[in-house]
Structure 1
């Protein structure tokens, strides 16, 4: 049975190449040149055209081409019986841990400030905090969040984590549920958002919650742009409650040229590159799920539509 790939705005050729190199006889198709669609039971997707899956009457499984699945779950036309899977990839996890560590250290050592000072040839050494004196709070302790928390802890930072349900990670102070969110936020000198995007987590980085952070706290968002209420961030940077932010994800991508984040002196912008799935390392997992699908078995990393991850 064939596999089809549906993606808007992403070059799928690396995926085609990796899949065909691993399994040369695979019947691999790419939307919209993937007729007849009645033959297709398994699809790969990232940013697919909403409503497109109505055209696949025998579809039984959709695999995201990344760790996130909000881009699939927001499509109301996917039948309930279609299973949805996501990718858990070691390279993806390592890349995220390395990137967030770099952002935290960039903030603690004021590298962004020194880069700006180069333009005016300003020589002004700044006092800095040592790792042991800083608490980093990680919102979202899934595969990526756990790896980030452990990496930051390994370089001597105090690290706490917050999740929807109770979890235990050695060396990490854990908080769980709505009842412990305030205490988690109150202690975080640096807040990193790695939550899945669900109806419960959308807009969670709002003024009410950000005000619970200590004065001078720093925000890092590497999850989804819809987690952040942008005007609230700008307001709290203006008042000085927050010292700055590093943002890798945005409500509209690419970030519009006129957006105030581009020119804000306290905001670092990166173009959604914190961690990108490597087709070569993820292809075995995809093919395993394709084979499971053909045998009528449950895929690896099955997503709960109720939880949203």
Structure 2
């Protein structure tokens, strides 16, 4: 009999993940943490924010599947076993994050926060509306999701550019890279979208110094931030200060250094902030289970795995 699959998920969908793996696991026993049973039976661990140290207790572990794009919590485990790590991936995940950033880019472009404030005042007043072609949008992070986002935003008509830590080329889109490319990228960007992975070089990159370098005199009417990447890319206090003094005219935040965002955080009630509960890339478990089992089948056949995490790069 094939080795067991362990599901260790921090969240309300844990039982659903386990049931789906039982239905599609091709005869493999499925364990739902914390009920592990005999740890030596476990060959596959499907995890999301699993407790640090847990995976080191599985002596016959062959594969770790991270059930989301972000692997920073997993890689921070000091006792992480030396077995392959893959990210669960699906085209629908890329599209959902793209939907999120397009939604909030359009909100800022079409002055929707302003009109919502006017509605609360029962105020009927129109404002000049520039064309999308007049607004400069910048996407930080040109992986699979970032590349999809810049293509969709460009099709809508925005003046889109991308920045990445290393050189990336996207047809029809101006791209910048590395430290030398960051300042010119920021200087032309009014709506900044962050889809970067969390690495040693990107931690805290969304800070007061970076916000100050954004373009504030363009058609968008200010500088705006949308972070659907990783929480530790941003410094919450710097975002609040930038919103207060006008360096940022608005911020949409889906991720935070500490999640859930504490109730006492001033971001919750800030009139220029939009807060969402890390749901930009929400995808139903049943969509991903087939992709995970395809990876397991590749492992069993000795074939190369897909979406393998590079531990040295952090993604």
User: What TM-score results when the alignment is normalised by the length of structure 1?
Assistant: 0.95
Aligned counterpart in structure 2 of residue 11 of structure 1, from 2, 10, 13: 13
Cα offset for 1:297?
Answer: 4.3
Give the conservation status (yes or no) of the 8 Å contact 2:15–2:32: no
1:14 offset after TM fit, Å?
2.6
Aligned partners of 1:23 and 1:36: how far apart in 2? 18
- Structure 1 residue 107 displacement after superposition: 0.8
Measured against aligned partners, the alpha-carbon deviations of 1:89-148 in whole angstroms (never above 9, x if no partner) come to 111111111111110011111112211222221222222221000111000000111111
Aligned counterparts of 1:128 and 1:276: Cα–Cα separation in 2: 32
C-alpha separation in 2, matches of 1:207 and 1:235: 8
What's the CA shift string for 1:22-43, capped at 9, x where partnerless? 3452311111112111121211
Q: How far 1:170 moved relative to its partner? A: 1.2
Range that drifts further, 16-25 or 55-64: 16-25
SS of residue in 2 equivalent to 1:59? coil
Give the conservation status (yes or no) of the 8 Å contact 1:66–1:277.
no
CA distance, structure 1, for counterparts of residue 123 and residue 266 of structure 2: 25
Q: How far 1:303 moved relative to its partner?
A: 0.6
In the alignment, what sits opposite 1:165? 166
Counterpart check, 1:66 vs 2:68: yes
Q: 2:219: which partner in 1? A: none
Q: Distance in 1 between matches of 2:22 and 2:43?
A: 18
Counterpart CA distance in 2 for 1:39 and 1:298 is: 24
Match of 2:42 among 40, 43, 63: 40
Cα gap change, 1:189/1:160 in structure 2, threshold over 3 Å: closer, same or farther?
same
- 1:226: which partner in 2? 232
Count of matched residue pairs: 308
Q: TM-score scaled to structure 2, two decimals?
A: 0.93
What are the ranges of 5 or more consecutive residues in structure 1 without an aligned counterpart? none
CA positional deviation for 1:288: 1.6
Q: Structure 1 residue 68: deviation in Å?
A: 1.4
**Hey, what's the Cα distance between the residues in 2 that align with 1:23 and 1:168?**
39
Q: What residue number does 2:109 align with? A: 108
Dislocated runs of 4+, deviation >4 Å: none
Q: Aligned partners of 2:88 and 2:47: how far apart in 1? A: 11
